Amino acid sequence: MIGTKSFEAIVNGEQVKLNIPQNLRLIDVLRNYLGLTGTKEGCGEGECGACTVLVDGEPYNSCLLFALQVQNKNILTIEGLASYNNLHPLQESFLEHGAVQCGYCTPGMLLVAKALLDKNPNPTREEIKVAISGNLCRCTGYSKIVDAISAVAEKGVKR
């Protein structure tokens, strides 16, 4: 029998406190306990990046983390990227450049891009390609995604 533990974290700027099974993955807490379904489970093995979230500003595959591993950390999901009624500049750029097709990879791509631009506001196209290399997209061929991230970097927009 798996016991429960107290889980506390800041998720999208809000303090969260839950009692959860101690073997629960972060993606399950986000989707099933907090209703944050923008984080997608693609492979469940850390290979596709669809479940990417930022933990203290660093991208992680939430399918590979036990929720208790991020106890007392700051977690950002796709739902926390935009502010009320205002898309994040990366979201706007993805739309403008046609970098969103089926949308399954988009949340993870956006969060990886945010982490990159927070650390390196002026990445080269090659650095962008390396940053998104852990996120699989079956629709766009990546060029439009790289274009969208590059456009935000060129504008020097940070948020």
pTM: 0.94
- Residue identified by tokens 């907090």 is 34
Q: Count Cβ atoms below 10 Å from residue 84 Cβ, excluding itself.
A: 4
Q: Which sequence spans correspond to the domains of the chain?
A: 4-80, 89-155
In this structure, whether the domain defined by 4-80 belongs to CATH 3.20.20.10 is answered with: no
* Contact criterion met (CB below 8 Å) for 123 and 117: yes
Give the long-range contacts of residues 36-45, CB within 8 A, separation 24 or more.
36/11, 36/12, 36/77, 36/79, 38/77, 38/78, 38/79, 38/107, 39/77, 39/78, 39/107, 40/104, 40/105, 40/107, 40/108, 42/104, 42/105, 42/136
Residues 6+ apart with CB under 8 A from 43: 50, 63
Confidence band for 2, pLDDT divided at 50, 70 and 90: confident
pLDDT average, residue stretch 74-81: 98
3-state secondary structure of 115: helix
Query: Which of 68, 56, 34, 59 lies closest to 134, judged by CA?
Result: 59
3-class secondary structure, 33:
helix
Give the confidence band of 21 by pLDDT, cuts at 50, 70, 90. very high
Which residues contact residue 110 at a Cβ distance below 8 angstroms, ignoring those fewer than 6 apart?
A: 78, 81, 88, 90, 91, 94
Q: pLDDT digits over 93-141, tens only? A: 999 999 998 999 999 999 999 999 999 999 999 999 999 999 999 887 7
Domain 89-155 homologous superfamily, CATH: [2Fe-2S]-binding domain (1.10.150.120)
